[in-house]
Every structure is written in C-alpha cells, then in structure tokens.
Structure 1
C-alpha cells in the first residue's frame, strides 16, 4: 500500500510540473507565431562589412556599444558596420527599418576573419513575394502598407499607360507629360514622362508640386501651397540625349477650388530648360481608382 501511495504522489508531482510548462507554452505561442527570424552575421575590428538594402535606410538601432554603423555617403540604401573593439565574447544584435516598411533583425558575433563582408539583401528580397513579410507603418502613409504602396508605384511604372492626353509641355527639345493620375486609399499617384529630343543630357535638379492661383500674374508666396511627394518610384536623375524616362510620384489626397491649379514644375540643374504642367480640379477628381486585390488600373 505504501508503494501505491508513493507511486500516486510521484505521478501527481509530475503532472503538477508539466501543467505550468504547457500553460506557459500556450501563453508564448501567439507571440512566437509573429517571430521575425534574425539573420546571422559576423563582424571584425579591422574590416568593414557592408549591407545593401532594397530601399533607403530609415532607422538603425545597435544592440550594444560593441558595434558602430553608419549609412554610406551618397548611398541611402547601404549600411556599413564593424566592431568597435578588437574582440567581444557575447553575441549582440542590430535592427534596420527601410523606406519600404521592411524590418530586418541581425544577430552578430565577432570573428577576426569573417568569411563574408558584403551582403546583398536586394537579391534576397527578389526571391520573396513583395506583398508578404513584415511591414512597418509610417506616419506619412497612414494605414497604407509601404510595401503595397511601392508595388502600386512599380505597377503603374511598368504598365506605362497613357490615360491623360491633354496635360503636357514642350520647349527647348524637352517634352514633359502627365500620363495619368491614380488614387488608392486616400493617396494620389502621378505618372509622368520626360522625352529628351536633343543630344544634350537633361540633368534634373528638383521637382515641385504646388497649388497656385490661376491668375499667375498676381501670384505671391502666400498664395502658393507646396505639396510634398511622399514617395518617388525612381530617383530624380539625368535624362540622356534622345531617350525617354518616366516616373511615378505618391502624394496625399487633396482637391482644389476652381480658381486654383496644381503646378508640377521640373527644373534643370545648371540649365534653363524648365518645364511646367498645370492640373485642374476636374483632372484630380477623375483620378483612376486602383483596386486592391489584383492591382487593376
């Protein structure tokens, strides 16, 4: 009988120890489903490692003082990182958020001679669906997913439809055209095109979106309302001679009164071949709707 009681209490203690573990696993499991698996990498003191991300780097957080990191000059999507001391034992980490809303996490160990010093995360992302993965929401985009906004920019660019036929400007051998206006979830997408008919490259200095009075002669700074693009599909660069380039700009939704127009101005660097487009409210309210599921335009 004593042996029976001993066996009973042994089972009772075993069950009592298992139940809290099971309960703990149940509590942890929902969070585990959202785990972002870290990438493993090695750094050293005498050499610099470089990571090339698909889009511009927006945020970097280092897990300890064992690491130092910075963006490469004139390369918004390249991060350089190395050890700040000649050797460290514990593993550390760092995290990166890019402009397309992607969150990256890296676990880092010290190695005096790492096998790899350069990492191309652009190639890695091409292997996955661009609409999947973790997405960080940015204040300026509201509830819009950065990766979906990027996909819409890319879709408009690649489909290259010429919907608007009446908005364009041409002078000095440069033609600037607004090919389409699209709308999705409270955001405008402006599709533009530049044709350089000359042999002289057209170097773009900057582009302006602003709302002004129709009576331009009476225009003042107070009457101008700048509209800052939230995203641009391609960097503003150079249009080589005898070539055509297009771009897509993402802006917040807005409308204007009948006595005002939206001006889209593009300025040449160290030149005078500036171009200006005028968009009226009737053009804005006819913006083509983009459907979420199949990105139908």
Structure 2
C-alpha cells in the first residue's frame, strides 16, 4: 500500500471521531450541524432530457448532477431546488457517470463508455484534465486522501488517479482485481466506497453470487467477499458510507438497502430498506444534514429531449 493510502486509514479514523459524527471527510460529508430547513424542497426538477446518473454534494448546500447524454454537470441549490448547467461536457459518447467533489472544489468524473476520467473545476466549469484510460465503461468514483478510485464495469480492474496533499491529480495507474473477484460476461463492477476504518475499498459486484460486495486491498487489488448474510445486491449501484452505516442504492428495485458494517468492512448486517413512491430508478446518493439526495435516472423509459427528470430527498436511517 502506498504511503498516501496508508494515511487515508489514519485520517479516516480521525474523521470518524470528529464532530461530523463519522461522515466521510471527502465527498460524502453529512453536515450534521446544518440540517436542512423544513421548507427546503424534498423533490426538485432537473432539466428535461438531462439523463442524470451521478450526484455529489460538497461543503456547501449544493448538489451536482452528471448527464449521461453529453457529460454536462448541473448544480442545484438544496435550499431552493433551482439550478443551472455549470459545466458543458465533451458531448455525445462522453457521459458523466460517477461523480464526486473534493474540498478544493474539484469534481471527479467517470466517463462511462467514453473510456476516460476527468477532473472539472466546479467554480468555472472548465475541464481541467482528461485521462484516456482505455476502459470499456468507467462507472463510479470514490475519493481518498491519496487517490481517486474508479471502477470499470466490463473489466476486472480499478483505476487509481494519484492525488497530492493539495488534492491535485497526477498519474493514473490500472490496478487489476484478483482474489475472489468474479468477472461476469457483461456488466459487473458498479459502485465504490471505503471501509469504515479506511483500510480498504468496497466495490459492488453485480454478477458474483447474485450480486455481492467485495472488499479490495488498494495496494494489491486482491478482493475478498464481504459477509452480508443472506442479502444480495443484484441491482447495486451507488454507495454512500456514513460512519459504519452503508447505503446501497438498488436502482431497478427502487430501494436503498442499509447495512451496518464492522470497522474493517469484512462483514455487514442488513438493518433497513428505504423505499419511496417518488423513486423512479434512483442510481446514486449523497448526504446533507439528515437527508439523502438521489437523482431519478428513469432507466425504464426511452430518453428523449423532453423526458422529465428530478431528484428526491429521503431521511437517513
């Protein structure tokens, strides 16, 4: 394990003990001291035809959404629900799938079938760097103090984008997935998170054993299956870890399955399932205060320029 990734574990433990109540320091902060006011909308529209997938919330009450249609990024105020496109994407064939934002105001974008990953300045909307990794479908991303990690849904590998102590991106390295990782004939890896103690990564495998969660050593790529009891993740998509509570969005099931993990992330106990009649195939989740915000991807309809999309908020467990 690289020195930067070892520091990830230490800083993760410090974060858990801090006033954020165990929420992730980068890209998943719960902002417990800033609970949304009662008049903040629990549902708000996204642009017609936008085709949302990823969501990110940083240190201010704004949500960022990525477009599968052309890679655009839309920012909405959580206080009002109003927003606008703040970054134009590369165009058709270069979507924005997974999305995270760091404390420096830099967005990290998974480029899906475009086979790339990008960084975007959230203030100016400018694409800072674009890395062609040759991946078949770069799906999701998670930030650690030493790196941004990306999944590839059609190949047994992760992409590690090195970050310096100021969060500036450097070189990309491909990390093969081995050990108990089982690669399916098609779509396999999806969402990615970290273990509560910061020692490893967690990756959804939609193929193995009917849908499972794998714990990946970031230094070696060796994967081991997380014991979730009888629970399965056949439609597991985006994940969000708050303290030891892991939220897994099961998109086609219109549900969020909630697990309590042990510190090392080797075992999880199912504690709740969140459903809501407003869910229309949500894909990913981000937190602010006591709420989870999710974009409705509506994968059950053929997208058109007039297709309506929205985001919804539900209470955390």
Higher relative contact order (CA 8 A, sep 6+): 2
Structure whose residues are more often helix by fraction: 1
Scaled by the length of structure 2, what TM-score is found?
0.24
Greater Rg, structure 1 or structure 2?
A: 1
Structure whose residues are more often strand by fraction: 2
Scaled by the length of structure 1, what TM-score is found?
0.25
